[in-house]
Amino acid sequence: MSGGAGPGGATPEIRIAYPSWVRTRVAWTDVYPGDDERMQLAIALARWNVLEATGGPFGAAVFERASGRLVAVGINLVVPLGNSSLHAEMVAFMMAQARVGSYTLGGKGMPEHELATSCEPCAMCLGATLWSGVRRVICGATRDDALGLEFDEGPVFDASYAYLAERGVEVERGVRRAEAAEVLALYRRRAGVIYNA
């Protein structure tokens, strides 16, 4: 099979960067001590992403579990970067792994990491959670909240969560659900693109 240049003769490459507002609005040096504070950040990221029109209504963040230190954030960048895999959780995992310099957040000698996400993960993000190396996930809005907006969350079942639990990944659902669901409603009111319907 021959390789080659893409359309226009260019070899494709992917670059993922945060929108400029992330640098000024995220309190990178703050400590986020518990589920409530960590979820507040994930929801704020989702809300800012909607208000700045830089992507979909989802936000996520990776923390060191014990210390509450923020490692990376993620926002949905599917539409602006033209890439169906750039969900908030995926961006958070990629940025966190880049920051720690490892393909896993569960490497030997590393602190345990956890993910806070403004909505229960879709099928892709739930699968990626297993391989990301995080040991715990905190979820805000539910799958039903996202389905109500007509986002297709893919094949996620109770057995999916049971599998994660068997592999040592804890999941806490419904943290600040109403607040997280309101960001989805805001996106609807602003006629945001439902990009996977």
In this predicted model, what pLDDT tens digit does every residue of 166-194 receive, in sequence order? 999 999 999 999 999 999 999 999 988 88
Phi, psi dihedral angles at 171 (to 5 degrees): -130, 125
- Judged by DSSP in three states, 75 sits in strand
CA distances from 97 to 22, 53, 105, 173 (A): 18, 26, 6, 24
The model's pLDDT over 134-153, given as tens digits with 9 standing for 90+, comes to: 999 999 999 999 988 888 78
pLDDT of the residue at 150: 81
Q: Looking at residue 5, what DSSP letter applies?
A: -
Kindly list the distances between the CA atom of residue 168 and the CA atoms of 47, 159, 161, 163, 189, in Å, as whole numbers in the listed order: 31, 14, 11, 9, 39
Q: Which domains does the chain have, with CATH numbers?
A: 32-187 (3.40.140.10)
Give the model's pLDDT for residue 6: 59
| pTM higher than the cut 0.85 | yes
CB atoms within 10 A of CB 60: 33
**Each residue of 46-79: pLDDT tens digit?**
999 999 999 999 999 999 999 999 999 999 999 9
Average of per-residue pLDDT across 155-160: 90
Q: pLDDT, tens digit, for every residue of 126-137?
A: 999 999 999 999
Q: Sort strands 59-64 and 70-75 into parallel, antiparallel or unpaired.
A: antiparallel
121, burial (CB in 10 Å: exposed 0-12, middle 13-18, buried 19+): buried
| pLDDT for 147 | 87
Indicate the pLDDT class of residue 7, thresholds 50, 70 and 90: low
Quick one: pLDDT band at residue 4, thresholds 50, 70, 90?
low
Phi first, then psi: what are they for 68, rounded to 5°? 80, 10
Kindly indicate the confidence band of residue 88, based on its pLDDT and cuts at 50, 70 and 90. very high
